[in-house]
Amino acid sequence: MREALRRRPGLALRLFTERERGYCQRRADPAPHYAARFAAKEAAAKAVGRWLRWHEVEVVVDRSGRPQLSLSGLSAALAGVPEGVQLLVSMSHGRDHAIACVALVAPGQAQGPLGNPRAGGTGP
């Protein structure tokens, strides 16, 4: 991502929302943060089984620092995620690598004390 952003200065405008760019640019090294968000957008598309518009899939960070996915516009409609289903995202990055995973969590799934499926549970 670092090299892609260096070669194509307008790439961040094409791939990321204003809020995402602001978040990344406030970091000492924005590239890993951009890379993690790019990975999350791709993971979201794979999780729902459809390609989505870059600016309509946004990684937002809640007050605790936990990343969340927000789908809007045509991408929200194309995703076809039923009411109550959550898109959970996990992202990680180092200086040179980033990874993200998106899970679709259906309503009524067992919830642990922190809202995580089966967290603190006693087994299946």
With 50 as the cut, is the pLDDT of residue 79 above it? yes
User: Which one is predicted more confidently, 37 or 77?
Assistant: 37
The number of folded domains in the chain is 1
Which helix (DSSP H) or strand (DSSP E) does residue 4 occupy? Answer: helix 2-7
Share above pLDDT 70 across residues of the chain, in percent, rounded to a whole number: 85
pLDDT digits (tens, 9 = 90+) for 32-58: 999 999 999 999 999 988 889 999 999
- Please check whether residue 113 lies inside any domain of the structure: no
User: What is the C-alpha radius of gyration for the chain, rounded to an integer number of angstroms?
Assistant: 16
CATH of the domain at 31: 3.90.470.20
Q: Does a structural domain hold residue 114?
A: no
Domain residue limits at 12: 2-105
Question: Which pLDDT belongs to residue 33?
Answer: 95
pLDDT tens digits for 7-25? 998 999 999 999 999 999 9
What is the pTM assigned to this prediction? 0.81
Would 120 be classed as within a structural domain? Answer: no
Q: Is residue 38 part of a domain?
A: yes
As a whole number of angstroms, the distance between CA 83 and CA 100 comes to 23
Q: What is the pLDDT of residue 42?
A: 95
Q: What is the DSSP string of 101-114?
A: EEEEE-TT--B-TT
104 vs 27: CA distance, rounded Å: 29
Residue 41 Cα distances to 44, 67, 115, 120, 124, angstroms? 5, 12, 23, 30, 31
* 121 inside domain: no
The answer to the question of residue 25 being in a domain is yes
- pLDDT of 122: 47
- Whether 32 maps to a domain, the answer reads yes
Q: Is 124 within a domain?
A: no
